[in-house]
Amino acid sequence: MARPDASGPRARLNRPSVLAAAVALADEVGVEGLSMRRLAQELGVVPMALYKHVRNKDELLDGMVEFLIGEIGDVGETEAAEDWKGRARTRVLAAREVLMRHPWARRLFETRSTKTGAVLDYMNSFAGILLSGGLSAELTHHAMHAIGGRMWGFTQELFEDEPSTPPQGPEAAAMMQEMAQRFPHIAAIASMEHDDSVVGRGCDDQFEFEFALDLILDGIERRHLSGWRSTP
């Protein structure tokens, strides 16, 4: 008798292998396509087998976040020469580079609410960069909030980005003109759409990311240098 669905490896399961498979599956089908049943099938195993290595789906998702943070690894032991701003900047851009390879990860990070050890480790070392630069605990606290998800390299784009292929054809021009009439200010702005348009949805634009990151880091530096405190 043929096993109709066992396409994955037959080896014994364990937590890391389950998480790795989950990440790989999400790379293929996205987070919304990831189900316990589908993952089990991918591993050539019955759905309930997963529950020995992961308490439930929520814990699986938390584990995936942990796994991704592990992929970031210990960047920047060589950053020591830079000042805090430069070190924060390179750290963030390194995280971004990793997480952009898993475009679905942003939504996952946004949804999870628990802070696993790996998450706290990352945040702790990030806070350390700012504190070591002489920023007050209070300013560092606010800075962490202000940077928010950008710490992991994510932007706060809502309504991700335009359709990858702008409408083309006969009535496309008419539609564009109607759009321009109804939303003139957007039309004024939308002129240049980004160079690397081929990169696909989920990957947001590097230039916009760095622009906003520098806006925030510069602002924090300015507050720092002028001895900012909450009750002036």
The site for its own copies (CB under 8 A) is made up of 107, 109-115, 117, 119-121, 123-125, 127-128, 131, 137-138, 140-142, 144-146, 148-152, 154-160, 182-186, 188-192, 201, 205, 207-208, 211-212, 215-216, 218-220, 222-223, 230
The correct pick among 8, 27, 57, 221 for binding DNA (CB under 7 A) is 57
The correct pick among 7, 35, 111, 164 for binding DNA (CB under 7 A) is 35
Q: Residue holding tokens 């364990």?
A: 14
Give which of DNA, its own copies, none residue 158 binds (C-beta under 5 to 8 Å, depending on kind): its own copies
Cβ neighbours around 40 below 10 Å, total: 21
Give which of its own copies, DNA, none residue 114 binds (C-beta under 5 to 8 Å, depending on kind): its own copies
Contact assessment for residue 88 and residue 48, using Cβ atoms and an 8 Å cutoff: no
* Alpha helix segments (H runs only) across the chain: 15-29, 36-42, 57-72, 84-99, 105-111, 117-132, 137-147, 172-182, 184-190, 206-225
Cβ neighbours around 121 below 10 Å, total: 13
Q: Residue holding tokens 């009750």?
A: 231
Give which of its own copies, DNA, none residue 149 binds (C-beta under 5 to 8 Å, depending on kind): its own copies
Shortest Å, Cβ 217 to its own copies? 9
User: How far from chain centre, in Å, is Cα 97?
Assistant: 9
Which C-beta is closer to its own copies: that of 1 or that of 188?
188
